[in-house]
Structure 1
Amino acid sequence: MKAFDWQRMALDKVPVDFLGEVALRSIYTFVLVFIFLKITGRRGVRQMSLFEVLIILTLGSAAGDVAFYDDVPMLPVLVVFISLALLYRLVMWMMSRSEKLEDILEGKPVVVIENGELAWEKLNAENLTEFEFFMELRLRGVEQLGQVRLAIMETNGQVSVYFYPDDQVKKGLTILPKYCNERFKVIPEHDDYACVRCSAVRQMETGDKLICPRCGHPEWSKASRATRIT
Structure 2
Amino acid sequence: MPLWLEVSLRTLSAIVVMFIYTRILGKRQISQLSLFEYITGISLGNLTGYISLDTDRNWGLGFVALSVWVMISVGIEFLQLKSKRARNILDGKPAILIQNGKILEDHMKKERVTSDELLEMLRMKDVFNISTVEFAIMDTSGELNVLLKKENQPLTASDLNLAVTPEKASMSIIMDGKILEDSLKKVGLNMHWLQAKLDKIGTSADKIYLAQVDSQNKLYLDPYDDSIPTH
**Corresponding residue number in structure 1 for 2:36:** 51
Note closer, same or farther for the CA distance 1:60–1:151 as it changes in structure 2 (3 Å cut): same
Task: Quote how far apart the aligned CAs of 1:22 are.
Answer: 3.0
Note closer, same or farther for the CA distance 1:106–1:167 as it changes in structure 2 (3 Å cut): closer
Taking the TM superposition and a 5 Å limit, the aligned residue runs for 1:69-88 are 69-88=54-73
TM-score by length of 2: 0.58
Q: Secondary structure at the match of 1:63?
A: helix
d(CA) in 2 for partners of 1:156, 1:120: 20
**Corresponding residue number in structure 2 for 1:3:** none
Letter in 2 for 1:47: Q
d(CA) in 2 for partners of 1:110, 1:155: 8
- State the Cα deviation string for residues 52-79 of structure 1 (Å, max 9, x = none): 1111111112112222221132212222
Q: Secondary structure at the match of 1:149?
A: strand
Taking the TM superposition and a 5 Å limit, the aligned residue runs for 1:91-102 are 91-102=76-87
- State the Cα deviation string for residues 57-113 of structure 1 (Å, max 9, x = none): 111121122222211322122222222222122122222232222211111111111
Taking the TM superposition and a 5 Å limit, the aligned residue runs for 1:129-148 are 129-148=114-133
d(CA) in 2 for partners of 1:25, 1:111: 47
> Over the residues paired in the alignment, what is the CA RMSD in angstroms?
2.6
Give structure 1 stretches of 5+ with no counterpart.
1-16, 169-230
Letter in 1 for 2:114: T
Q: Secondary structure at the match of 1:89?
A: helix
Q: Once superposed, which parts of structure 1, at least 4 consecutive aligned residues long, lie more than 6 Å away?
A: none
Letter in 1 for 2:103: L
Aligned residues: 154
TM-score by length of 1: 0.58
**Corresponding residue number in structure 2 for 1:12:** none
d(CA) in 1 for partners of 2:27, 2:113: 24
d(CA) in 2 for partners of 1:20, 1:128: 50
**Corresponding residue number in structure 1 for 2:110:** 125
d(CA) in 1 for partners of 2:101, 2:13: 51
Note closer, same or farther for the CA distance 1:69–1:112 as it changes in structure 2 (3 Å cut): same
d(CA) in 2 for partners of 1:167, 1:158: 21
**Corresponding residue number in structure 2 for 1:42:** 27
Identity of aligned residues (%): 28
Do 2:137 and 2:144's aligned partners in 1 also have CA atoms closer than 8 Å? yes
**Corresponding residue number in structure 1 for 2:135:** 150
Note closer, same or farther for the CA distance 1:74–1:121 as it changes in structure 2 (3 Å cut): same
d(CA) in 2 for partners of 1:85, 1:44: 11
Give structure 2 stretches of 5+ with no counterpart.
154-231
Task: Quote how far apart the aligned CAs of 1:36 are.
Answer: 2.5
Task: Quote how far apart the aligned CAs of 1:43 are.
Answer: 5.6
d(CA) in 1 for partners of 2:17, 2:142: 26
